[in-house]
Structure 1
Amino acid sequence: MTRKTDLRVIKTREGIRRAFLELIREKGYDAITIQDIAERSMTNRNTFYLHYTDKKDLLETVTDEVLDALTGKLTVVIAQKSDQFLMSQAIIRIVFEHVLEHSVFCKAMLGKHEVPRFHDKMKQIIHHIFHQVLNQNHSQLQDSKGIPNDFLENCLSSLYIGTIVWWVEHDFHYSAEQMTAIMSEVITKGPIQAAGFIRSERV
């Protein structure tokens, strides 16, 4: 009996969340009402309030689950990888794979009717990850020509968010593997050299 109840609760929550994300894509977060969510999920207002306090609570719950999972994955990589290059590659790959895994969610959060708060939260996570990476490898970065770490952290996190938004807008036309290769090329060479304006010094 308990298992049936649990499965019913899980199914109800999934229906509410799916309806919520669909509505964000259609009309934007601010325009959504609890009644809209209840009707789309084929439940009722009372059922909604059994699971969530309000739509802000629903947004924060769904967002925290997705971003906490991403943070956990990236934290493991930082702890396990000692080689800076391999660590950077792993971070790039995991971010794209995670976004693709939660593509429906990311389309709602970063699509036409994007939710700015999510945009900011995700940027903060990526910014914090690069802060850890750069500080962890501080001794190897003494010859960075005087470029402040916080400037690099901001540039890299902004580049990531902009790229992810572009990927979402293009309906994930490229695979996570392709995006990892593209991002790696741009980060390693820089936009100018990656675009072919400056030739590589390699012989």
Structure 2
Amino acid sequence: MTKQKIDPRVIRTRRLLKQALIELMEEQAFEEIKVQDISDRATVKRVTFYLHYKDKNELMVQCIDEILSDLREKVSVKISLLDNFDYLEEYPHPSFVQLFQHIADNFSFYKAFLVTNRIPYLASGLLEIIHEFVSEGINQIEPSEQNLTAKRDLIIKYVESAFLEVIIWWIKNNLPYSEHEMAFQLMNLSIKGPYKHNPLKNRDESLTENE
């Protein structure tokens, strides 16, 4: 059974409405935006909006679903890829780099939906994708519970939550580091922690020498 083609005029109108919503959400809170505002920005009639969406919430959810679907497809978190990756090499996992590339390519959307507005539906969807990557990575790096400093589920939640907040910080500060550098630094932090050497060990040795 072949899929029915969507009228190009419908595609164009929906694209205009989505872009209008993104632009408005970069400027103000979602709660303050009215359907009329979206229609005016998209240069379509209000009645036209309702031919495609029942309200602004449905439009917002569709925008988020499309961006998350595209992200999942591009990141392609698969066990087979993680199995063949050497985490000791001086470069980040390509799927992780792709995550940051996707955010950079859709910067206006992410800034509008995660910074100017922090939409829980997008944050939770993004966190779910990060969770898949983090959990598979940690399971691959260290499958033994005895070699972990805390419970596995707690470590995964700690790392994925930190990743999300750093991503939001990165967007809020207009992407001060490259996609590759962000992926590399965050991967290093999740594997090695913030210190090159144990600072407490170095301090103890210094105190011993001064006694």
Percent identity, aligned pairs only?
28
Q: Partner of 1:129 in structure 2? A: 133
Query: In 1, distance between residues paired with 2:114 and 2:161?
Result: 14
Select the residue among 171, 180, 189 that pairs with 2:192: 189
Q: What letter corresponds to residue 104 of structure 1 in structure 2?
A: S
1:125 deviation in Å? Answer: 2.5
1:30 deviation in Å? Answer: 1.3
CA deviations over 1:38-60 (Å, ceiling 9, x no partner): 01111011211222221111111
Tell whether the 8 Å contact from 2:25 to 2:116 is kept in structure 1 after alignment. no
Q: What letter corresponds to residue 99 of structure 1 in structure 2?
A: I
Select the residue among 157, 170, 174 that pairs with 1:171: 174
Select the residue among 87, 109, 127 that pairs with 2:113: 109
TM normalised by structure 2 equals: 0.79
Query: In 2, distance between residues paired with 1:97 and 1:30?
Result: 29
Q: Partner of 1:18 in structure 2? A: 19
Query: In 1, distance between residues paired with 2:171 and 2:190?
Result: 20
Q: Partner of 2:43 in structure 1? A: 42
Q: Does 1:158 find its partner at 2:168?
A: no
Tell whether the 8 Å contact from 2:28 to 2:116 is kept in structure 1 after alignment. no
Tell whether the 8 Å contact from 1:92 to 1:183 is kept in structure 2 after alignment. no
Query: In 1, distance between residues paired with 2:17 and 2:141?
Result: 46
CA RMSD of aligned residues (A): 2.9
1:72 to 1:176, Cα distance in 2 relative to 1, 3 A: same
Query: In 2, distance between residues paired with 1:157 and 1:183?
Result: 10
1:128 deviation in Å? Answer: 3.5
1:138 to 1:177, Cα distance in 2 relative to 1, 3 A: closer
1:187 deviation in Å? Answer: 2.1
1:84 deviation in Å? Answer: 5.0
Unaligned runs of 5+ in 1: none
SS at match of 2:129: helix
1:18 deviation in Å? Answer: 0.9
CA deviations over 1:171-191 (Å, ceiling 9, x no partner): 112221221222233223212
1:30 to 1:165, Cα distance in 2 relative to 1, 3 A: same
Tell whether the 8 Å contact from 1:77 to 1:91 is kept in structure 2 after alignment. no
Query: In 2, distance between residues paired with 1:114 and 1:82?
Result: 34
The structure with the largest alpha-carbon Rg is: 2
